Amino acid sequence: MTAPANIAAVIIGRNEGARLVAGLASLKGQVARIVYVDSGSTDNSLEAARAAGAQVVELDLEQPFTAARARNAGFDALDPVPEFVQFIDGDCMLEPGWIAAALDAMTSVADLGIVTGWRSEIYPDASVYNGLADFEWHRPAGDIEGCGGDMMVRGAVFAAVGGFNPRVIAAEDEEFCTRVRKAGWRVHRLPEAMTRHDADMLRFGQWWQRAIRTGHGFAQVGALHPEYFARERQRVWLFGALLPAVAVVAAVVQPLALPVVALIYMLSYLRTVRGVMAEGLDLRRAMHQSVFLSLSKLPNFWGLLTYHWRVLRRRDMAIIEYK
């Protein structure tokens, strides 16, 4: 099968090892050109990419690494700029048939700026944390406000909006989608399998770090687009900051208020369980995952604080890694 000449792929990674090899193999024959952008890998990623026939771009080690910066570097290496660019993370594999489905949508509907599909975890049962990630990816098809980093973008649209914001270290893909929508283009999720992801989250500490990064994204993207993640930030402030503070004060001043705080948390938890079950999980899994969804507001709040502390101190927005 001859790959369509009007599409290239940009894949980014850092020390992804076998995951990168699988991702590169999944792109073979699907696109006319592959650019791999490496963020300081110390494993065999560079050699693997070259062996797969990809053009390799190595980011300058003197500047902070971000996924946004890596994707921009990959796009900049595409000369001439193709009509469409498929972005994919280095810990993902492209699903067969996705490129054809995405191209069909893009060429049929003129105002689509970005199309994405369904991502799923390769090992959802390896840990509750992988299961949480798998659940997170399953969202309804149709026009959407934003999506993750696996997406097909019109080359002209990417260039027109200036690509990704390299200073945004988390939810940079959502921030990019927001600017694309504000420029008058639609962001659309097709009801098609797009990529398979290997979260490789096997420890509580990894999940906690990822939740901190999520909170950082809520704050940073919210600072750029106040309407975006507004509800998420409100919930983080309520359940990750205000209620814990009330509980601490109540424990010292008025212990009788503690059951009220506990009741608010319990009602929120039960509401989360109900919402998760409505999206397809059985009761046991819904109850288990809802514990972590409720608990996530604490590390999310730490991520919010991290962002605001960096702004206050005029620090670089360094990436927050979880694996």
Question: What is the pLDDT averaged over residues 110-136?
Answer: 95
Does 140 sit behind a cis peptide bond, omega within 30 degrees of 0 on the bond before it?
Answer: no
Sorting pLDDT into bands at 50, 70 and 90, what band is 1?
Answer: low
* Whether the predicted pLDDT of 82 surpasses 70: yes
Sorting pLDDT into bands at 50, 70 and 90, what band is 262?
Answer: very high
Does the predicted TM-score (pTM) go above 0.85?
yes
Sorting pLDDT into bands at 50, 70 and 90, what band is 9?
Answer: very high
Give strand ranges (E) for 144-253.
Answer: 151-154, 186-197
Which residue in 73, 11, 78 sits closest to 48, CA to CA? 11
Burial tier of 183 (Cβ tally within 10 Å: 0-12, 13-18, 19+)? exposed
The model's pLDDT over 132-149, given as tens digits with 9 standing for 90+, comes to 999 999 899 999 999 999
Residues 18, 23, 28, 31, Cα dihedral to 10°: -160
**Angle between helices 258-278 and 243-253 in degrees, nearest 10:** 150
For the chain, domains (ranges, CATH) are 7-202 (3.90.550.10), 206-313 (no CATH)
Question: What is the pLDDT averaged over residues 121-137?
Answer: 93
Q: What percent of the chain has pLDDT over 90?
A: 89
Question: What is the pLDDT averaged over residues 277-299?
Answer: 94
* Whether the predicted pLDDT of 316 surpasses 90: no
Q: What is the DSSP string of 55-67?
A: EEEEPPTTS---H
Q: Checking DSSP bridges between strand 84-89 and strand 7-13, what pairing results, if any?
A: parallel
Confidence at residue 37, expressed as pLDDT on a 0 to 100 scale: 97
* Whether the predicted pLDDT of 238 surpasses 70: yes
3-state secondary structure of 189: strand
Q: What is the mean pLDDT of the chain?
A: 95
* Whether the predicted pLDDT of 50 surpasses 90: yes
Confidence at residue 319, expressed as pLDDT on a 0 to 100 scale: 87
The Cα 17–Cα 12 span in angstroms is 12
